[in-house]
A and B are shown apart, each in its own frame.
Chain A
Amino acid sequence: MTALVMLCVFLPMLAAVPAFFMGKKHLLRDGFSILVTLTVLVAAVALAMGQTEGATAPLLTMTFARSGFQAVYAVVAAFMWFCAALLSPQYFKGHHHLGRYHAFFLLTLGATMGVFLSADLITTFIFFEIMSFASYTWVVQEQDPEAMSAGKTYLTIAVLGGMVLLMGLFLLYDVTGTLVVADLSAAVAAAGKSPKLYIAAFCMLVGFGAKAGLFPLHIWLPRAHPVAPAPASALLSGVLTKTGVFGMLLITANILVEDHVWGYALLVLGAITMVLGAVIAVFSTNLKRTLACSSLSQIGFITVGVSMIALLGEENALAANGTVLYMLNHSLVKLVLFLCAGAIYAGAHTLDINRLRGYGRGKPAIAVPFFLGACSLAGIPGMAGYLSKTLVHESLVEYAHHAGTFITAIEWLFLLSGGLTAAYMLKLFITIFVEKPTADTPVAHHKLSPLSAAALILAAVALPVLGVLPHRLAEKLSHVMLPFVGGHESHHAVHYFAFVNLKGVLISLGIGVAVYLMVIRRLLTKQQRDRRIHYNPLEGRFSLEENVYKPLFRGAVWGLGAVCSLFDRVTDAAIKAGLFLLTVVCRLFNDLTDLLVLAANKTVFRPAKDPHEPHERRYAYALGRLYGRATKQDANRFGEVFVRVAETIAKTTRRLSGNFSFALLMTCFGICVILLIILFAGTK
């Protein structure tokens, strides 16, 4: 068991390294990819046939399990990778960066196997993230602006989903104390349902739903699937979205078991996705985009099935069987259809269905698989798609008995979407394979290689085989898968081909044909020169991504950024202002003494004006004259000399006595006198 798990999960991851360096050697590289995927397929089958249940990897303490569902999906994934590897040599002729493509092709295989075989949610998460990042390179493989932009969306949603999923896991671990899937339901039952548990589950739903392509996080899907190379689109659409559904099933079966809030949330989201995808697909005029939107719609159908598992509780046998068969059917159908699209693109180098008009005529190796795929998708009796659609529809009808008109409305939406599915597949099939080619239609340069043909046939043949004998094969398969999805045993056999059950499909098909004839052929075509072509009136109108998410994200980043830069400025300014204020205060204190002195100089110690000036001069003059007479000289001259001397003396005295220093001196002198007095008084 351990060895097989290691082979499934880690062999392709290790093989990615040599594959990277084989980029230039075509034969070796393609052969290597096919060989590795075949080995993994054999290992997966052996694992599914085996008996033992668990394994542990030495790294990261990862654990693996092999319940029925997990084993079946491991086989499906390996099988699809194998088919995609078979188609690759022809599809990629003349492309660039092939070493990179093959390396990440194998890396993603290992990661996807890891997700499906994981026994605890940490392991799931680790591989889930590796898968998301590795598959990014598929989306941007062509590196044209469209691919880069789609890749950006893909990566953004993947990272966002991954982070929210991780938050959910944290919260779940906090509530239950375990992330081992087998122990979860017991742990949840012990802990009881708390708001925290619901938050955890819905966080996980965001993560898994983003990967599955559930509304409103579906925006990456219709953009990424068409730009990726066809073998990669087949896997993105057929397997990678299923890892998201895998997660939703995990929550439904182990965490929020038979929970109505959970069930209704899934039901509403699933129904919106189902209708939305189908409507866009009807409008689309690009082959792969139609298929991508169809994936969206089908994921909606599957989610409705999952919600019925939750809502029906004990009686969910129909819903559970239907859901797992729906997943299987959708994986295989999308494998077939995208590989056909790849084969068409390899020959015609265009995906525009107006240019592909009549391209498929006379190419039965593409036409037959495409037809089988389209029939199964539309739910024609005899195909696998019929069984799954009928079962899910019946479960809806059953629940409508309990729950009333809301469910009946959903049931009608279900039939309507089924009808739209038939309509858009009719549109594709008739345009490409039935109508007469025009002058625009490219001519295939080379024929389908045997490997590619083998891939198409291998992929397509499973659909009718599963569908023809429902009780022999399909039911046994779904039965094996039931325990994992929390399905209960069925009490009575289902009569698939009874009229009651056929009725739903007939209504759907009726709607489909009507839509095709009335809407697609009339309203969605326009005259161009000599013929009517399909056109898409919705093209470039409104997109959730461009008109809602991007502005929101930009606004949020802008707003946060503005707040951050505001804080930056405020901090800077605060520090600068603080330093400035401190400097001012320091200077103030520095100059305080000087200021005091200055103030004192100007106020208390201001030099006094001399009021006696004229008198002094008069006396001095008189004194001078007296001195002159007495010495018998010129009395007047001596008078003036005396006045000058008197003025000088008066000025000096003023300077001395009006000065602060003089005052200090005088103070000192006074203090000295006082000291002396104290001294002498003390000594006596």
Chain B
Amino acid sequence: MNVHFLLIPVFLPLVLGAVSYFIPFRAPGHRNAYVMAALLVSAAAVWVAALTVPETTLPILQFTDQLSFSLRLDGAGRLFSCLSATLWPLTALYAFDYMKHEQHHAMFYCFFTMSFGTTMGIAMAENILTMYLFYEMLTVTTIPLVMHGMTKVHNRAARKYMIYSFGGAAFAFAAVVFLILNGAGSFVPGGHLSDVDDRSLAQVLYLFAFLGFGVKAAVFPFHGWLPNASVAPTPVTALLHAVAVVKAGAFALIRMTYYAYGTAFLSGTWVQYAVMAIAAATILYGSVSALRQKHFKRRLAYSTVSNLSYIAFAVTLMTPAGLLAAFCHLVFHSVIKICAFFAAGAVMHYSDREYVPQLEGLGRKMPVTFGLFAISALGLTGIPPFCGFFSKWYISTAALETGNGLAIAGVAVLLVSAFLTACYMLAPVIKAFFPRAGADNDLTGVKEANWRMLVPMAVCAAACVLLGLFAHVPVNLFREVLSL
């Protein structure tokens, strides 16, 4: 396939999404059909691109000698784009059911579709400038989704999201400029940073970039927007705040570390220890905070904070094994967490319950929802044979391989966090399936979720099981695609 094909997955959703706002649909069903068709075509385009487009650069705009806006699909990009492309239509299916009682459909689906395009842009960016542009665009296209409820709480959450995201990007900007000045070029494995005179400046700027791009990856102390953003409609929380947006942050970290700066340049320096410590602290912080949340979705949001830092921790190991582990967790956590959020959303939608203590006995009324949630809970805790176990396994072995004292401490943190994960994830399951005898919880009116909610959940849960049972298949695939 010609390299120009890359334009389709990036710009088609942007155009189709923007157009959808202005089409006067007669019935909600028509809009749903349109959105689904748009997403399916775009997702198919992504898959075709991932499978057939060669790894060559497609220059679109040449600003100066050093600044260009161009696309290219390399191994890491292929993985990230395929992951998002698979989950987006599923989430749309879920959203059709979930959004029935919500307002402003035109705006929601417009930006929902557009943010798919911007995410693809991040995945397919050829150089740091292009990635930076799409990164900012992603923020812009997702703000309306966070603000969707239009109440004071929603506005405040969106404002916080905006301040953090833009602020973070601005923070990273210095590093972007520095990288462009020092041997600007496309992302290459091992980094394109050529000889630098002032190494300490480069290191400080890497720290800036890590924290800046880390805002989207919810790295402590810039995680604050994520739990607040869980006021958004559940499809948004599930897809954007567990997969697309936050993983775009993690992906940016991977790009910065492995493809721009290069691990050889950073490994063993103080800055590696600094970012590793930050990641480890976030892991613990997220888990402890999740344990303290009574609100179901906020609990999951804090759990995301913790799990994103698993990825960040793997990234900071700065070894090929670390990169592999980071991608494993990036993919596995996506399917697990999206399933968990879907279940939480289904519970909110069909039983009007938002807090964990209210879930007592719900398992009888919603057995499939909670059964699937149980799978995701076990997966997230890292109980074999679910896939979460294997990503933790790869992270831990990669960490121990480095022989670095801090990395070994990080493994201990990982396991403490796994224990806490079990505490906060299993509590809803136990409450739902094993209610205390005599617990009075009025369950009238609660019914099992609609198939349009269950199918996406079931697909993700099945993926959680199958990716675990045949863990060597995806892992070998990652290894091959990333050419490690």
CB distance from A430 to the nearest CB of B (A): 35
Most A CB contacts (10 A, CB to CB) among B426, B434, B435, B470 go to B434
In the complex, are the beta carbons of A564 and B289 less than 8 A apart? yes
B426 touching A145, Cβ below 8 Å: no
Chain A CB count within 10 A is highest, among B384, B400, B472, for B384
Interface string of B379-401 (1 = CB under 8 A from A): 00101110001000000110011
Which residues 7-65 of A sit at the B interface, judged by CB distance below 8 A? Answer: 59-61
A130 vs B384: C-alpha distance when bound (angstroms) = 7
With A126-B385, A159-B419, A159-B422 as known contacts, state yes or no: A167 contacts B289, CB within 8 Å.
no
Shortest beta-carbon distance from B378 to chain A in Å: 7
Q: Which residues of A contact B470 (CB under 8 A)?
A: 59-60
CB-contact partner of A145 in B221, B430, B437, B471, under 8 A: B437
Could you give, for residues 148-172 of chain A, a 1 whenever the CB lies within 8 Å of some chain B CB and a 0 otherwise?
A: 1001100110011011101100110
A129 to B284, CA, bound (A): 23
A167 touches B412 (CB 8 A): yes
Q: CB distance A125 to B400 under 8 Å?
A: no
B221 touches A129 (CB 8 A): no
How far is it, in angstroms, between the C-alpha of A126 and the C-alpha of B222 when the chains are bound? 36
Q: Known A59-B385, A129-B384; judge A166-B288 contact (CB<8 A).
A: no
Q: How far is the CA of A156 from the CA of B381 in the complex (A)?
A: 13
Interface residues of B in 384-428 (CB under 8 A from A): 384-385, 389, 396-397, 400-401, 411-412, 415-416, 418-419, 422-423, 426
Min C-beta distance of B218 to chain A, whole Å: 12
Q: Is A143 an interface residue (CB 8 A)?
A: yes
Q: Which residue of B lies closest to A572 (CB)?
A: B224
**Contacting residue for A567 out of B220, B383, B472, CB 8 A:** B220
A126 nearest in chain B by CB position: B384
How distant is B420 from chain A, measured CB to nearest CB, in Å? 8
Contact count band on A: 35 or more
* Contact in complex: A173, B400 (CB < 8 Å): yes
Whether, in the assembled complex, A201 has its beta carbon less than 8 Å from a beta carbon of chain B, the answer is no
CB contacts (< 8 Å) of A557 on chain B: these are 288, 291-292
In the bound complex, CA of A450 to CA of B420 (Å): 47
- Specify the chain A residue showing the minimal Cβ separation from B390: A60
Q: How far is A130 from B386 in the complex, measured between Cα atoms in Å? A: 10
Known contacts A167-B412, A561-B289, A571-B221; is-contact A140 B385 (Cβ 8 Å): no
* Cα A572 to Cα B470 with chains together (Å): 44
Please determine whether B435 and A170 come into contact, CB atoms closer than 8 angstroms. Answer: no
Q: Which residue of B lies closest to A163 (CB)?
A: B415
B436 at the interface (CB under 8 A from A): yes
Q: Which of B292, B385, B397, B419 meets A130, CB within 8 Å? A: B385
Give the chain A neighbours of B472 by CB distance below 8 A.
60-61
Which A residues lie within 8 Å of B221 (CB)?
Answer: 567, 571
Question: Which residues of chain B come closer than 8 Å to A152, judged between CB atoms?
Answer: 430
Instruction: Establish whether residues A140 and B285, one from each chain, have CB atoms under 8 Å apart when the complex forms.
Output: no
CB contact under 8 A between A148 and B436, given known A133-B383, A174-B401 = yes
Specify which chain B residues have a CB less than 8 angstroms from the CB of A564 in the assembled complex: 285, 288-289, 292
B469 at the interface (CB under 8 A from A): yes
Contacts of B401 in A (CB 8 A): 174
Contacts of B415 in A (CB 8 A): 163-164, 166-167
Complex contact A129–B383 (CB within 8 A): yes
Q: Are B381 and A125 in contact (CB under 8 A)?
A: no
Q: Does A568 contact B (CB under 8 A)?
A: yes
Please pick, from A126, A164, A170, A572, the residue contacting B396 in the complex, using a CB distance under 8 A.
Answer: A170
What residues on B are CB-neighbors of A591 within 8 Å? Answer: none
Q: A560: CB under 8 A from chain B?
A: yes
Q: Is the CB of A143 within 8 A of B435?
A: yes
B-side contacts of A572, CB under 8 Å:
224
Cβ contacts under 8 Å, B468 to chain A: 60
Q: How far is the CB of B418 from chain A (nearest CB, A)?
A: 5
Q: Does A59 contact B469, Cβ atoms closer than 8 Å?
A: yes
The answer to whether B434 touches A151 (Cβ under 8 A) is: yes
Contact between chains at A144 and B418 (CB < 8 Å): no
B contact residues around A60 at 8 Å (CB): 384-385, 468-472
Specify which of B288, B291, B411, B436 is in contact with A167 (CB 8 Å cutoff).
B411
Most buried by B among A126, A174, A571: A174
Report the Cα distance A159→B437, complex, angstroms: 25
Q: Using Cβ atoms and an 8 Å threshold, which residues of chain A touch B163?
A: 575
Docked Cα-Cα span, A174 to B401, in Å, equals 7
Asked if residues B434 and A140 are in contact (CB atoms below 8 Å), the reply is yes
Question: Do B397 and A170 touch across chains, with their CB atoms under 8 A apart?
Answer: yes
Instruction: Report B214 CB to chain A, min CB distance, Å.
Output: 13
Q: Which residues of B contact A159 (CB under 8 A)?
A: 381, 418-419, 422-423
B426 CB contacts on chain A under 8 angstroms: 155
> Nearest Cβ distance between residue B239 and chain A, in whole angstroms?
26
Query: Among residues 414 to 460 in chain B, which have CB atoms less than 8 Å away from a CB atom of chain A?
Result: 415-416, 418-419, 422-423, 426, 430, 434-437
**Which of A60, A126, A142, A144 counts the most B-chain CB atoms under 10 A from its CB?**
A60
Distance between Cα atoms of A167 and B222 in the complex (Å): 30
In Å, the complex CA distance between A140 and B433 comes to 10
A174 to chain B, nearest CB (A): 4
Query: B285 contacts A567, CB within 8 Å?
Result: yes
Q: Is the CB of A170 within 8 A of B400?
A: yes
Q: Which A residues from 265 to 294 make CB contacts under 8 A with B?
A: none
Task: Looking at the assembled complex, report how far the CB atom of B282 sits from the nearest CB atom of chain A, in whole angstroms.
Answer: 10
Query: Known: A133-B378, A167-B411. Is A143-B385 also a contact (CB below 8 A)?
Result: no
Specify which chain B residues have a CB less than 8 angstroms from the CB of A560 in the assembled complex: 284, 288
CB distance from A106 to the nearest CB of B (A): 17
Given the interface pairs A151-B434, A170-B397, A564-B285, the reply to whether A571 lies near B384 with Cβ below 8 Å is no
Interchain CA distance A145-B401 in the complex, whole Å: 46
Contacts of A130 in B (CB 8 A): 383-385
In the complex, what distance in Å separates the CA atom of A162 from the CA atom of B419? 9
Q: How far is the CB of A578 from chain B (nearest CB, A)?
A: 10
Interface residues of A in 355-402 (CB under 8 A from B): none
Task: Determine if B291 and A145 form an interchain contact, defined as CB atoms under 8 angstroms apart.
Answer: no
Q: Which residues of A contact B220 (CB under 8 A)?
A: 567
Q: How far is the CB of A492 from chain B (nearest CB, A)?
A: 46
Closest Cβ–Cβ distance, residue A395 to chain B (whole Å): 36
Cβ-defined contact, A173 with B397, below 8 A: yes
- Expressed in whole angstroms, the Cα–Cα distance for A11 and B384 within the complex equals 18
Encoded as 1 (CB less than 8 Å from any B CB) or 0, chain A from 290 to 316 comes to: 000000000000000000000000000
Contacts of B292 in A (CB 8 A): 557, 561, 564-565
With A129-B384, A167-B411, A561-B292 given, is the CB distance from A143 to B422 under 8 Å? no
Q: Which residues of A contact B416 (CB under 8 A)?
A: 163
Q: Mark A111-147, 1 if CB is under 8 A from B, else 0.
A: 0000000000000011001100100000010111100
Q: Give complex CA distance A155, B418 in Å.
A: 13
Q: Are A561 and B383 in contact (CB under 8 A)?
A: no
Q: State whether B434 touches A148 (Cβ < 8 A).
A: yes
Q: B224 and A571: CB pair below 8 A?
A: yes
- Smallest CB–CB gap between B297 and chain A, Å? 18
Q: Report B-chain residues with C-beta under 8 Å of the C-beta of A561.
A: 288-289, 291-292
Question: CA–CA, A152 to B429, complex, Å?
Answer: 12
Q: Complex: how many Å from CA A133 to CA B385?
A: 12
Q: Can you list 22 pairs linking A and B with CB atoms under 8 Å apart?
A: A59-B469, A126-B384, A133-B383, A140-B434, A143-B435, A144-B436, A148-B436, A152-B430, A155-B426, A156-B423, A159-B419, A163-B419, A173-B397, A174-B400, A174-B401, A557-B288, A557-B291, A560-B284, A560-B288, A568-B224, A571-B221, A575-B163
Known: A143-B437, A160-B419, A561-B291. 17 other contacts (CB 8 A): A59-B385, A59-B469, A60-B470, A60-B472, A126-B385, A129-B383, A140-B430, A151-B430, A159-B381, A159-B419, A163-B419, A164-B415, A170-B397, A170-B411, A561-B292, A564-B289, A567-B220
Q: Lowest 6 CB-CB distances: which A-B pairs, in order? A: A126-B384, A174-B400, A159-B422, A571-B221, A163-B415, A560-B288
